[in-house]
Structure 1
Amino acid sequence: MYDPLVDSTPGRSQPHTPSYWVDTAGAAPPDDGPVQGNHEVDVAIIGGGYTGLSSAYHLAREHGIKAVVLEANQTAWGCSGRNGSFARISGGRVPLATLVEKYGRDTARAFFAEMQQALQTTRDLIDIGEIDCDKQPDGVFKVAIKPEHVAGLKREVEMYNGLLNYPARFVDAAGVQQVHAGAESYGALNLPDGFCMHPLKLAWGIQRLAREAGAKVHPGSPVTEWTSAAGGHRLVTPGGVVTARRVIVATNGYTSRKLNPVLTGRILPVHSQIIVTRPLTAEEKVNSLPGGDCMFDTRNLLFYYRRLPDDRILFGGRSAVNGRDAENPVHRQRLLDALCRKFPVLKGVQLDYNWGGWVAVTNNSLPHCYQVSGMQNVYTGGGYAGSGVSFSIQTGKRLAQMLAGDARPTPVPFLHEAPKPFPLQSFLRVGQRMAYAWYRFKDAE
């Protein structure tokens, strides 16, 4: 598997990783083919996932700027086409209480408002574009895996209600059984906003909207060389050269270490893996996930899961530390064992799908959207830490605003600051392996 910390390029025109999403997405929408020849453009966007496609759409639709998207492989080849399918009020991986402690109540409120707007931006795109992405009814549950986690969930509810004036609620164990049967369900935090959908269909819908607005989308066009001068940026692809006055980098967890040295070391790619079962029987549904809500749990290394429209269960979580180990069957088995601990009725269930990909974690576990220091007219966004379906789409919108002249389109200071480089980068994966061992030990206590 392509490993951004090791490999110099994600390849060229690689097919999508086999997955449930690929098998059920239907035909890909039209694109503009790989770059051929030399082109001078105003804006080039590197990366054809949610962030890049959203940037292209919003630049064209709201600012009259028709950008060119350069994607190494297929559009939505990375996180956007292989994620867990939850569009939530989320961004990064920092608890609300920690946000308040570190940044203050006003900044925490502003960031929450931005995450709410991100979800609304996603809804709006689905509605405006009539994107058929199997959108499910709203409902998100954070489920306590141990009795001692209940008190923490109740404190979270109080913060949502009091600090944010948001109608979160606590659901007791008996109530949780109505939506989450089986074991490891001692209560839950319920958020009324947030929905599941088909992530690849969503990405392809945004691609269609971007091209209809005037953007160009070029798959099979990795940037293999990047040089800058006073007149702009020279981006070399296998089929030609794109010279752009302004550049957006939207590669997130798939950013090659060779793309540009200024960006190196600010993102840690973390592997997340997903399994999907065969369709469940009526009895298995009743005794596992009777509803179709977004579910995740209170582990340090959390699991996320849902019932799909065709009655399969999707179940995901952290797995390999590096790309060499990503195909090791031990990770698939670990997820299956965890699924069956939660839902004993599924013991021995057949798995029909198994795939994984890289999510992007920053030093502070928060997303970013900023103008790159030391480079003229270069902007980037990412760092969603596995919670980025809606926030990546919003980041694309914010990047478009920044290119159009609004230097800080949100009142959240940390969003517009470059994430600090990780220290001791040669030992990042060693530290990650040790952290995983510790978290698994704590989760098993």
Structure 2
Amino acid sequence: MATLMRAYDPLFDPLTDTPTQGQQYAPTYWVATAGEPPPDDGPAPDGLIADVVVVGSGFTGLSTALHLAQDHHAEVVVLEANAAAWGCTSRNGGQGQNAMGRLYRSQWIAKWGEQTAKRLDAEIRSGFEYWESLVAQFDCDAQTGGHLYTAHRDKKIDFLRNESRVMNNIFGYKTRMLSREELREEYVNDQEAKAALWEPQGVGVHPLKLAFGYLRRARELGVKVHTSSPVMKVETRDGLHHLHTPGGIVKARKVAFATGGYTTQGVHTTTRSKLMPIQSNSMVTRPLTAQELAEAGLKSTVFITDTRTLRFYYRLLPDGSVQLAVVSAITGKDAANPKHLELLKKGLYRKFPSLEGSQLRTTGAGGSMSATI
């Protein structure tokens, strides 16, 4: 259903603003290359009733709806404030890792003990394998081959070597340590990288193409996806949740919040001050020539993360361009500050000096991830 969309507002801050409605996508590389968005069900009318209402139509919301409809035959309605997959799903790095948060597995053991770490690993591995099975079903430019952690300083080499040992001996993985020379010979000539840990679990995707695949499949299964339908508040009475939207009230037996870093403070007491938005700024270069790729030593599409506290993560995309991102801006209102794009450019040039001055025509856009408090 066609819906008149409003211009994208880069200054939206979920911690202080009310929900947006009907905004166009942020001007990202993913939006420019994903193709025409699939049809949705337009704004939610008054009087809808469902078994489950999912609030938010990003990866989490759409996959939740898809799973409920396919495996549990539930009647599901998805409510989205803007366009489908408008938030971080259309702005992230597209890097699927078998990981959780900022801690490595050796740090899980130190913090919670080996048995808890093993249970956590089993849960995360199960989720990653399920996600891999979804990726295989959709045309999303999947890049398999695993993931590389690069030591950006010499003192990080022993840390990664120990992590590789822990992952292999305790958790049963088949990781591999690469020397600086092996990394450059097989994968990439990152001038900052001193060594690397390779893990076979890791898939890079075009995130918006994948989300569009979720959207099509969910609607085929009977899920109603209503865009331009922000949830302003939720009331519960007589055993039903009443979700107030601009078009009226939607009722549900159960509600799943999947709004991530775009969860506004007033939507529900269970999420208030529990989700902190964290900006991740991303940049994509123009497609590089064969000579530029050779001079930079970019040989593989395996995605890469360095060991900084505020990590740089990057990869070579199927069209020969390079995508690079880092956590930088703290608030949405600061995301458009040119210094954040300059930080990304400097990071790119430190890693690949031959690209400096090559008129890369970089484009950048940021989005909010969510940290649970």
- TM-score scaled to structure 2, two decimals? 0.94
Please name the residue that 1:118 is paired with.
127
- 1:127-169 per-residue CA deviation (whole Å, 9 max, x = no partner) reads 3xx3110011222100011112111110001101111011011
2:159 pairs with 1:152: yes
Q: Give the letter for the 1:101 counterpart.
A: A
- 1:143-201 per-residue CA deviation (whole Å, 9 max, x = no partner) reads 01111211111000110111101101100010111212141111000001111110001
Superposition RMSD on alpha carbons, in Å?
1.2
Please name the residue that 1:15 is paired with.
24
- 1:290-341 per-residue CA deviation (whole Å, 9 max, x = no partner) reads 1101101011111000011111100000111112211100110011011101
1:88/1:194 contact within 8 Å kept: yes
2:55/2:256 contact within 8 Å kept: yes
1:79/1:359 contact within 8 Å kept: yes
Please name the residue that 2:214 is paired with.
206
- 1:412-440 per-residue CA deviation (whole Å, 9 max, x = no partner) reads xxxxxxxxxxxxxxxxxxxxxxxxxxxxx
What is the CA–CA distance in structure 1 between the aligned matches of 2:161 and 2:135, rounded to whole Å? 33
Please name the residue that 1:289 is paired with.
298
Please name the residue that 2:279 is paired with.
271
Please name the residue that 2:5 is paired with.
none
Please name the residue that 1:71 is paired with.
80
What is the CA–CA distance in structure 1 between the aligned matches of 2:311 and 2:361, rounded to whole Å? 20
2:351 pairs with 1:361: no
Map of 1:164-175 to 2, 5 A cutoff? 164-175=171-182
Structure 2 SS opposite 1:166 = coil
What is the CA–CA distance in structure 2 between the aligned matches of 1:63 and 1:109, rounded to whole Å? 29
Question: Post-superposition shift, 1:225?
Answer: 2.4
Please name the residue that 2:205 is paired with.
197
Please name the residue that 1:51 is paired with.
60
What is the CA–CA distance in structure 1 between the aligned matches of 2:220 and 2:161, rounded to whole Å? 46
Q: Give the letter for the 1:23 counterpart.
A: A
2:114 pairs with 1:82: no
What is the CA–CA distance in structure 1 between the aligned matches of 2:107 and 2:80, rounded to whole Å? 36
What is the CA–CA distance in structure 2 between the aligned matches of 1:219 and 1:182, rounded to whole Å? 42
What is the CA–CA distance in structure 2 between the aligned matches of 1:301 and 1:113, rounded to whole Å? 27
Question: Post-superposition shift, 1:357?
Answer: 0.5
Q: Give the letter for the 2:271 counterpart.
A: L
What is the CA–CA distance in structure 1 between the aligned matches of 2:372 and 2:46, rounded to whole Å? 36
Question: Post-superposition shift, 1:245?
Answer: 1.5
What is the CA–CA distance in structure 2 between the aligned matches of 1:230 and 1:102, rounded to whole Å? 43
2:230 pairs with 1:222: yes
2:28/2:90 contact within 8 Å kept: no
1:86/1:294 contact within 8 Å kept: yes
Q: Give the letter for the 1:260 counterpart.
A: H
Q: Give the letter for the 1:3 counterpart.
A: D
What is the CA–CA distance in structure 2 between the aligned matches of 1:137 and 1:58, rounded to whole Å? 24
1:177/1:185 contact within 8 Å kept: no
Question: Which of 353, 356, 361 is the equivalent residue of 1:351?
Answer: 361
Please name the residue that 1:131 is paired with.
138
Q: Which moved more, 1:342-351 or 1:313-322?
A: 342-351
2:147 pairs with 1:140: yes
Structure 2, unpaired ranges of 5+: 1-10
Structure 2 SS opposite 1:206 = helix
Question: Post-superposition shift, 1:62?
Answer: 0.7
What is the CA–CA distance in structure 2 between the aligned matches of 1:236 and 1:194, rounded to whole Å? 40
1:19/1:355 contact within 8 Å kept: yes
Please name the residue that 1:302 is paired with.
311
- TM-score scaled to structure 1, two decimals? 0.79
Question: Post-superposition shift, 1:244?
Answer: 1.2
- 1:241-295 per-residue CA deviation (whole Å, 9 max, x = no partner) reads 1011111111111101111133111121110000111111222212242110110
Please name the residue that 1:109 is paired with.
118
Structure 2 SS opposite 1:37 = coil
Q: Give the letter for the 2:171 counterpart.
A: L
1:182/1:344 contact within 8 Å kept: no
What is the CA–CA distance in structure 1 between the aligned matches of 2:365 and 2:77, rounded to whole Å? 30
What is the CA–CA distance in structure 2 between the aligned matches of 1:189 and 1:150, rounded to whole Å? 9
Q: Give the letter for the 1:82 counterpart.
A: R
What is the CA–CA distance in structure 1 between the aligned matches of 2:323 and 2:316, rounded to whole Å? 6
Please name the residue that 1:243 is paired with.
251
What is the CA–CA distance in structure 2 between the aligned matches of 1:139 and 1:272, rounded to whole Å? 22
What is the CA–CA distance in structure 2 between the aligned matches of 1:228 and 1:177, rounded to whole Å? 58
Question: Post-superposition shift, 1:41?
Answer: 1.9
What is the CA–CA distance in structure 2 between the aligned matches of 1:123 and 1:318, rounded to whole Å? 25
Q: Give the letter for the 2:356 counterpart.
A: K
Structure 1 SS opposite 2:305 = strand
Question: Which of 283, 288, 310 is the equivalent residue of 1:280?
Answer: 288
What is the CA–CA distance in structure 1 between the aligned matches of 2:115 and 2:357, rounded to whole Å? 49
Structure 2 SS opposite 1:324 = helix
Structure 1, unpaired ranges of 5+: 364-445
2:272 pairs with 1:259: no
Question: Post-superposition shift, 1:119?
Answer: 2.0
Q: Give the letter for the 1:60 counterpart.
A: A
Question: Post-superposition shift, 1:72?
Answer: 0.4
2:45 pairs with 1:32: no
Structure 1 SS opposite 2:124 = helix
